[in-house]
Structure 1
Amino acid sequence: MLKNDSKIFLKPINIEIMPAKNEHIKGIKILMKEFYQDEPVFNAQKIDVETLDESFFDYDKFIKNDMTFVAIDTSNNTVASLATNEIIKSDYSVVHREEADLKYKSNTNLYRTLRLGVSIETEPCLFKIFNVNKILEIRTLATLQKYRGYGISKALAKCAFLAALNNDSISIIRIDCTNYFSSLIARELGMECVVKKHLSEYKDEKGQPWINIPKKPNDLLQIFVFRK
């Protein structure tokens, strides 16, 4: 795990990777809004990110969770990239469904997008497949457009690997990819694709796809894992 005084520099730009701190919240807000504006599933649902309440982003959670890492451009202190990681347990999909039902039912497109996420978490259940009660999940890899192409997201993802290697209770690292580029990063990290499904296969109680399907190549879900 990186400590607060740890420094990883990437060239040709001056990027320092570190755990997220309170001072990074403003930059994280800018980054996460750009991330969701570009995200293929959100785009296909025509979700207006600017209208979303800040509780949806849950910025404080980024700071409380010591497994969230940011890449800072040291020349101007911009939060160039972000990786949110979380140790999840088998009941986490229940929590996410309750949260969606409680907070977001009035926003149909957002609600159905979140319910897609719940279906992805449970179909199939990786906890049963790998017989584990904890999994380290790389939840978000986000990079501002001007900083893409330098391998920053890949470097941030490696921080999750370091966290897992230093935690004896974690044997599986997981990343769910509905974005083609995140799937490329997963492959470059040597992760194994254990699930590959067209997003239309995830259906609601009436047998209808949860969402409007994004265009290729972002119409697939791919779940990658790394086994220690």
Structure 2
Amino acid sequence: MTRRSGRRRTQAERTASTRAALLDAAVGCLADLGYAGTTTTEVARRAGVSRGAQLHHFPSKIDLLVGATAHLLDRRLTEFRKAFADAPAGMDKLDTAIDVMWSMYSGATFISGLELQVAARTDAALRPFVIGQQQRFVEEAAAIFGELFGDSLAADPAQGRVNLAFTFALMDGVALADLLGEQPFAAPDDVIDALKIVAHLILPPTPEETP
């Protein structure tokens, strides 16, 4: 008789794996089917788990979406940090930062997050969780930018946060228009190039950029 090799997973590991599969499936459903089309039954099917297992981990749709909101943010922050880490060396730091931010406005992570934001407008149970995760993302993004441009932002931290909020607000609008296929004035990448010009005007140079 051949003995199976490998360590058996613990109950905690199996539980974590099932939860992750359900949350990944929920994010995929939101991106593919939208908030209205995301059902617990479809999420369970995509995750490859039984309906009973799904109900054990997330008894209701709101429980599942609250979990997906936090899971989505963790994914977005991981992608955010990886994109900065993978940025080419020797590139203009500010332009690279803007390019990395803009790269986050596509794919399932962005679309799923957008679906949750729209749903939270009229869903009182979901709203506080979405707002809380948005605030967490802003704080994490501010921390990352603080590491990149600490000396430039230290003189006026409040203005630095305004600049970051301005950048996110502009990208939100450009991405939404592009998602709907509406580009009445300029191509999205041209708008982002204009943002880089403005950013260089309002953000003081970092020490290594100062002649």
TM value normalised by structure 1: 0.27
**Which of the pair has more CA radius of gyration?**
2
TM value normalised by structure 2: 0.28
Larger fraction in helix? 2
